[in-house]
Amino acid sequence: MSQSDKSILDRIIGGFIGALILIACFVLFVNVVLRALGYSLKWAEELTRYIIVWVTFIGGSMCIQDGTHVGIDVLPSRLGPKGKLILSIIINLISLAFVAVMAYLGVEMVMQAIRFRQITAAMMIPMAVPYLGVPVGCALMSIRYIQQIHLSIKALGRKEA
């Protein structure tokens, strides 16, 4: 996919992921330098851990969009074009169901953190903030799976016509 083909959502997500990775690298670099000087930021590792969670779940939607998720291609390689599209629809429906359940459970986890007023150990921020990466990322992945299912159904309709 070329840069001009990317949607506004793709650019926002890519920029957000890039910014988070830069923040994590900067914080870790500063903490390493400070450790060499005998001082350490207590919150640096915790922040980096939560950033990685956000990047993982948000980045999952980009992988779905670009078709770079890990997959096994033994079966698809043995199918014809129509079979590949049907298998793609089935796999994407199963994946959609999985991330929809994960999104629901992620919302439950965030709500529980809010209800019990949980805070992080070092940064002392509400745990709902780091936990929110799960439902947000899964919601974005759901959107991407729906897009992929739609594209496969359209392609299947063209092949049958």
User: For 59-101, how does the pLDDT look when each residue is reduced to its tens digit (9 = 90+)?
Assistant: 999 999 888 877 777 888 888 989 999 999 999 999 999 999 9
Would the pLDDT of 1 be above 60?
no
**Class of residue 42 by CB neighbours under 10 A (exposed 0-12, middle 13-18, buried 19+):** exposed
Could you give the number of structural domains in the chain?
1
Is the separation of the CB atoms in 76 and 84 below 8 Å? yes
Indicate the angle between helix axes 44-66 and 133-160, nearest 10 degrees: 10
User: For 136-158, how does the pLDDT look when each residue is reduced to its tens digit (9 = 90+)?
Assistant: 999 999 999 999 999 999 999 88
Domain housing 97: 3-160
The CA angle 78-81-82, to the nearest 5 degrees, is 105
State how far the Cα of 75 lies from the Cα of 53, in Å rounded to an integer.
32
The predicted pLDDT at position 116 comes to 98
- Residue written as tokens 């650019």? 11
First to last CA, the chain: 27
Would the pLDDT of 3 be above 60?
no
| DSSP-assigned beta bridge partners for residue 126 | 119
Does the model's pTM come out above 0.75?
yes
User: For 21-52, how does the pLDDT look when each residue is reduced to its tens digit (9 = 90+)?
Assistant: 999 999 999 999 999 999 999 999 999 999 99
The predicted pLDDT at position 82 comes to 92
User: For 112-131, how does the pLDDT look when each residue is reduced to its tens digit (9 = 90+)?
Assistant: 999 999 999 999 999 999 99
Would the pLDDT of 9 be above 50?
yes
State how far the Cα of 122 lies from the Cα of 21, in Å rounded to an integer.
20
pLDDT band for position 4 (50/70/90)? low
